[in-house]
Amino acid sequence: MKQKLLALLLAFSTMAMYSFASEDLMKEVNKIDVKDACNVQKRGIEKVLETAQKYNPLGVKMGLEFMRHKVTTSEYIDAVKKALKEHKKEVSFQKGEDQKQVFSVEFAAERACKFAVRALQQVKEAEESYRYAIPGDKFTY
Amino acid sequence: MKKVLACAAILVGSFSLAANYNAQAEKDRLALIKYYEKVFADPAGKSSVYFPYTPEKELKENYIKGIKWKDFVLGSYAYAKGPKEQYLEMIDFPPYLDNIDHGEELYNSNKALKECFPDPAKARAKYPMFDQKKKEVVTLTVAINDCLKSHGQKPWNMKKGDLADVEAYFAAQAKENGLKVNVQIPSKEAEDAYMRGRKYYYSQRGYLKLSCANCHVQGVGKRTRRDYLSPAVGQVAHFPVYRLAWQELGTLERRISGCLVNMGQKPVAPDSKQMRELIYFLSYMSNGLPYQGPDVRK
């Protein structure tokens, strides 16, 4: 009984902690200037990648992860990490029978960062704008 | 006498409360219909308002005007002249007939499905529904797989194949019996689910920052390459569809996933909360329209 209670308490506190952390992250992300934060020349590729890795998991969890030509933000991040480890200058993606996509590591890092940050920033933007598209609500025509 | 009056008051009170859960959704549905009817009242005459980039000649020659609510069950074929003619030719020999037969075979040979859905026509019309016990929206796709799992069977692919075929059989039965879309919002939790679905539909997302409404509300009737964008009203009534682009039958979840990809986002899972609530909202928008599925689309 005690063990069950402890397990429950632990699960509850972990959930609460995660939820507070997510809230903090959401507040923080809205203050970011994406052009600055994801600028490889200005901040260096490691820092930019770090930013992408910081925000992407929450986007994934919330079902907001971006995807362009079948390549997701997570895949960009993994590819950049791998390229840095192997000292490569390019990353490439082969999706089924589609044409191979090749990018410089810097470009891929920048895209990963922008995608990760923008996915979360859009939440607040949507919150403020979505009703302006609803007929019968704020949409005028 | 006092007791009778009190009972009556409780009854009236609970009825008005129950009716209230539908109130916002009904308001949204009627406003959306009014908007679409206005857009298609006279596309050529209102070109500068609703179709600023479409040449007047095209608006006069390619659009049917004076479209009313019930016409929207045909989707964009309600107003696009050329595509409507092609569609009417296609349904002379529809490509989904084998899928309906296969769905019927699967249904008749599977005890679990017969137990869970004793009346195939009603099975289509029952979903999506809000499950008061689970406090979540259950779509037909989710209900079929839940049924299989509860009988110890492997769930099916939620986008195509056997599941789409069984849905085609259910839809065909609903169409044959003249059933109409009739989504209900029975509680506060259900209303919350509807409102989340509504918000999802109108929120811009993905790297292209588009919402479903950008194409199907504000963009309705406009042409993207050779296709005309369809209205939200009537969309769910014709699923599952045989899309020429797929060369096979697919579920509503598959089509929505395709839209999400086009918006620049990794699609949410077909059984995710977001997908279920989005379908709940979309289905309510088609309330009152007859089931048309399965159908064929480009």
Please count the other Cβ atoms lying within 10 Å of the Cβ belonging to residue B39: 22
Is residue A64 a contact partner of residue A126, using CB atoms and an 8 Å limit?
Answer: no
List the single residue in A72, A126, A127 with the smallest CB-CB distance to B205. A126
Could you say which DSSP state residue B160 is in?
A: B
> A78 lies in a domain?
yes
Work out how many domains chain A is built from and give that number.
1
Whether residue A56 lies within 8 A of chain B, CB to CB, comes out as no
Comparing CA positions, the residue from B214, B213, B223 lying closest to residue B285 is: B213
pLDDT digits (tens, 9 = 90+) for B216-231: 999 999 988 888 999 9
Give the pLDDT of residue B249.
Answer: 97
A75 within domain boundaries: yes
Angle, vertex CA B18, rays to CA B14 and CA B23, nearest 5 = 135
ipTM field? 0.88
Domain that holds residue A124: 2-133
Q: Going residue by residue through chain A, which has 141 residues, state the pLDDT in tens, using 9 for 90 and above.
A: 566 666 655 555 555 545 667 888 899 999 999 999 999 999 999 999 999 999 999 999 999 999 999 999 999 999 999 999 999 999 999 988 889 999 999 999 999 999 999 999 999 999 999 999 999 999 988
Q: How many CB atoms lie within 10 A of CB B20?
A: 12
Q: What's the DSSP call for residue B180?
A: B
Packing angle of the helix pair B252-262, B273-285 (nearest 10 deg): 110
Amino acid A139: pLDDT:
94
CA-CA distance, B181 to B126, in Å (whole number)? 9
Residues of A in contact with B203 (CB under 8 A): 122, 126-127, 129-130
Asked if residue A90 belongs to a domain, the reply is: yes
Answer yes or no: is A30 within a domain.
yes
Cα–Cα distances in Å, from B100 out to A119, B156, B157, B169? 40, 17, 17, 5
Summarised one tens digit per residue, pLDDT across range B178-196 is: 999 999 999 999 999 999 9
A93, two tokens: 């993606």
Is the confidence at residue B4, as pLDDT, over 80? no
Q: Is B195 exposed, middle or buried (0-12, 13-18, 19+ CB in 10 A)?
A: middle
Record the pTM. Answer: 0.90
- Any chain B CB within 8 A of the CB of A67? yes
**Is A141's CB within 8 Å of B38's CB?**
yes
What's at B16, amino acid-wise?
Answer: S
Q: Which of B32, B38, B266 sits opposite A67 (nearest CB)?
A: B266
Distance CA B8, CA B20 (A): 18
Q: Which residues are within 8 A (CB) of A100 and not within 5 positions of it... i.e. 6 or more apart?
A: A92, A93, A94
Partner residue facing A130 (CB), from B202, B209, B266: B202
pLDDT in tens, B263-296: 999 999 999 999 999 999 999 999 999 999 899 9
Residue A99 inside a domain? The answer is yes
Q: Is residue A70 part of a domain?
A: yes
pLDDT band at B20 (very low <50, low <70, confident <90, very high): confident
pLDDT computed for residue B15 by the predictor: 47
Task: Point out the catalytic residue in the list B7, B116, B147, B259.
Answer: B259
Q: What are the structure tokens assigned to A139, written together?
A: 């949409």
Residue A140 lies in a domain: no
Chain A interface includes B23 (CB < 8 A):
no
Average pLDDT over residues B142-168: 97
**With bands split at pLDDT 50, 70 and 90, how would you rate the model's confidence at B6?**
low
* Closest chain A residue by Cα to residue B262: A68
Residue A95 belongs to a domain:
yes
CB pair distance less than 8 Å for A135 and B274: no
Contacts with B261 from chain A: Cβ below 8 Å: 67
- Reduced to 3 DSSP states, what percent helix, strand and coil does chain A have, rounded to the nearest 5? 65, 10, 20
For residue A120, give the amino acid letter: L
Q: Quick check: is B259 catalytic?
A: yes
pLDDT band, very low/low/confident/very high, at B161 (cuts 50, 70, 90):
very high
Are residues B30 and A136, on separate chains, in Cβ contact within 8 Å? yes
Cα A113 to Cα A36, A54, A74, A125, distances in angstroms = 11, 9, 10, 18
Q: Is A89 on the interface with B (CB under 8 A)?
A: no
Which residues is B136 bridged to in the sheet?
A: B131
Q: Is A14 helix (H, G, I), strand (E, B) or coil?
A: helix
Residue B298: count other Cβ atoms within 10 Å of its Cβ: 15
Mean pLDDT over B252-262 rounds to 96
